[in-house]
Structure 1
Amino acid sequence: MPIVNDVIARVNSFVAAAPMAPVSVDPLNIPIPEVVDLGAAITTLDRVHSAPGGPGAAVRMARSAAGEFRREFAATGTVEQAATHDLVTLPYPTKFGLWRASVTPTPFLFITNRLVIVRWTEAGGRVRTLLWEPSDVELDGNTPYFAALARRTPEIVLGQMLREHATVAERVAQAGIDPAEVDYLAFDHLHTQDVRRLIGTVRPQADISPESAVPALFPNARLVVQRDELEAMRDLHPLQRPWYQPETFVDLDPARILPIDGDRLLAPGVAIVRTPGHATGNQTLVLNTDSGIWAMSENVIAAECLTPQHSRIPGVAGWASAWGQELILNANTLESTAQQYAFCVVEKTLVDRSQADERFLQFFPTSELTASRYAPGTRPTFSHGSLRQGV
């Protein structure tokens, strides 16, 4: 396949030496409102965050606490409606997604980022709508790491390797939802995210709206985010800077931001829990469905990364066995690797096994490993592809 070889050769020519664009190192005045009590507090997993005895003890505590949380959460009921919607399939460095385990020389694998639309009815009859991972694909491309790669990538490569399926607005419209009905927006973490067009700004923006403030695509929606991540974004560490766009948060309306601090039950069968490590303030969407409990985050990029002994991706099972590790991290940033590992154990303990193949778990990566002819040696052994509940 000449085109495949050409793409791989071109990618190899620049991936090892893509300098980062200059970024600000001065603290930013990102608005951080007071923490809100959204839904009901969940305290079962708190002891994982404060486990005495070091990171090894935290892993053992993760298994115990997650097993208890699993039983409690299942008893809350099932989510009314939940559905995934493909947004974009894009290249992602293999050395990050399959950290240390893959033996393929292919520099990039491919992941599909998906929007999750979750809906439930409150006791008074009001319908609530949560958009999980509503990424603005166009603006997210300005993230320093990806912008640097794009500048060095020939157009032919970009055209072959990037596939945009639909925008968030298009997916919401296809689901029959009025933008004014959307109550909450949330991400597993804020790497790459630029939410200005989603919730609007209080001042003009030179790059996208120089004459007036940016109008909100979702006029009644508020951004649900762990306060810890907003605090971190004000003054990023050099390891964090290539993956954030903190300057895009400065002019957000504080009234449109809902900081939370901890784990929250939003509705029967719907929870957001803290899973820090991959990023400060990382969080996971947990859903209880007719097929059992699911978890959604980007801590790993494939369900098989939580049961690597069943993976057929070259190198993955052997690496996990050789080093006695039960999972393969998504490791583009190593903010707190041991902590990320512990909360991956939380995620794999609280979910059910897949009804399609019980070797794999109902962990659904928000950016899931996807087969591509441009990435030989990284074809997933198993993919969820989509999730539908009550739709």
Structure 2
Amino acid sequence: MSFTRIDTLDHMDVEGGPGARLRVARERGEAFRREFATTGTPDGIVTRDLVTLPYPTRFGLFRASRAIAPFLSITNRMLVIRWHDDGRERILLFEPSDHEYGRYTPYFEDLSGRTPDVIERRMVKVHGTVPGHLERLGIAPEDVDYLMFDHLHTQDLRRWIGATPYFPNARVIVQRDELAALSELHPLQKPWYQPATYRDLPAEAFLPIDGSVVLGPGVAVVKTPGHVFGNQSLVVNTSTGIWVSSENVIAAEALTPEHSKLPGLASWTRRWQQEVVLNANTVETTADQYNSIILEKTLADRSQADPRFLQFFPSSELTGAWTNPGTRPTFSHGQIVH
């Protein structure tokens, strides 16, 4: 097992402030985009829905939305990615969220406690579980090599890699600085993490990385700080071109808001001279998140279904619901298939 460091994306924290770093993000993104296309493609990618749940509109469509609904809906999905390395198959699960334990994240636990059961049942829809999806795909838990999340908000990994691990051979790919931050959270971070659940997890179950790496043919992890300090994005090269996935934004149209029909997005971005709309439940470093989204935007190819939008696949994708007027997306991907 050996990953290839992406030198092109190293040392992007240049002097001159966030504007200079934005310029560098565009330049380096274009360069890596050309490099990455030559690495090949994975053997296969499938998408499986996990859960649809409510999320504050003011966070998901940061400052831009004019929807009257205080909440919108997002759908968490898992990607299963396979490739061959040194003659053997590798399997990566991207965003294999244990939503049963994730509900104890402080913010969502508080929200659940303040929401009548009858309303919560209408707003939360479980589509499937990680074990159930893998069983139907014919993947044994011991065959999974890697687990990866764009960041560790809401994640409780005890069932996956704890004392009796469901995935006995898997390691969690995580940015070293996010893992370190769990030991002493800032107040802005505390509503979104479950740090106590990490205390007894074996250190060897984690695979900390520093920065951006190519994992295998057409599969890369790109560091995209901002939403959290250790944010990372999945980048995959497929039969339709390059896709990028993270939770930096919650809809493909947040990268090209000039084409959005969501109330407020196009006009707000024109007025404020911003080209993207952030997902900003935590504003750890907002300018860095903006720059990271521009890097993602630079890497992603245009959608073959509608070229106004990019092949950016939100790990939590905006999902229309009658309960949330004004938040139905103009365009949705729903899945990546390769």
Band of TM-score, shorter chain: over 0.9
| TM-score, normalisation: structure 1 | 0.85
- For 1:39, give the aligned amino acid: F
Q: Deviations over 1:177-214 (max 9, x none)?
A: 0111001101000000000000123xxxxxxxxxxxxx
Residue in structure 2 matched with residue 262 of structure 1 by the alignment: 211
Do residues 355 (structure 1) and 304 (structure 2) align? Answer: yes
Distance in 2 (alpha carbons) for counterparts of 1:302 and 1:258: 29
1:1-391 matches, cutoff 5 A: 38-48=2-12, 50-123=13-86, 125-201=87-163, 215-389=164-338
Count of residues paired in the alignment:
338
Q: Deviations over 1:341-390 (max 9, x none)?
A: 0010000001100000000000000000001011110000000011111x
Distance in 1 (alpha carbons) for counterparts of 2:206 and 2:274: 38
- For 2:121, give the aligned amino acid: G
Distance in 2 (alpha carbons) for counterparts of 1:79 and 1:288: 7
3-state DSSP of counterpart to 1:146: helix
Q: Deviations over 1:141-191 (max 9, x none)?
A: 000000001011100011111000000001111111011100110100000
3-state DSSP of counterpart to 1:239: coil
3-state DSSP of counterpart to 1:91: strand
The CA RMSD over aligned residues, in Å, is: 0.9
Deviation at 1:219, TM superposition (A): 1.1
| TM-score, normalisation: structure 2 | 0.99
Q: Deviations over 1:297-337 (max 9, x none)?
A: 00000000000000000100000000000000000000000
Distance in 2 (alpha carbons) for counterparts of 1:67 and 1:330: 24
Deviation at 1:257, TM superposition (A): 1.1
Deviation at 1:47, TM superposition (A): 3.4
Q: Is the 8 A contact 1:38 1:264 kept in 2?
A: no
3-state DSSP of counterpart to 2:8: coil
- For 1:231, give the aligned amino acid: A
Residue in structure 2 matched with residue 32 of structure 1 by the alignment: none
Larger Rg: 1
3-state DSSP of counterpart to 1:147: helix
3-state DSSP of counterpart to 2:182: helix
Distance in 2 (alpha carbons) for counterparts of 1:322 and 1:294: 29
Q: List structure 1 runs of 4+ shifted beyond 2 angstroms.
A: none
Distance in 1 (alpha carbons) for counterparts of 2:85 and 2:223: 24
Deviation at 1:78, TM superposition (A): 1.2
Between the two proteins, what is the percent identity of the paired residues? 59
Deviation at 1:39, TM superposition (A): 1.0
Deviation at 1:105, TM superposition (A): 1.7
Q: Is the 8 A contact 1:120 1:128 kept in 2?
A: yes
The answer for unaligned runs of 5 or more in structure 2 is: none
The answer for unaligned runs of 5 or more in structure 1 is: 1-36, 202-214
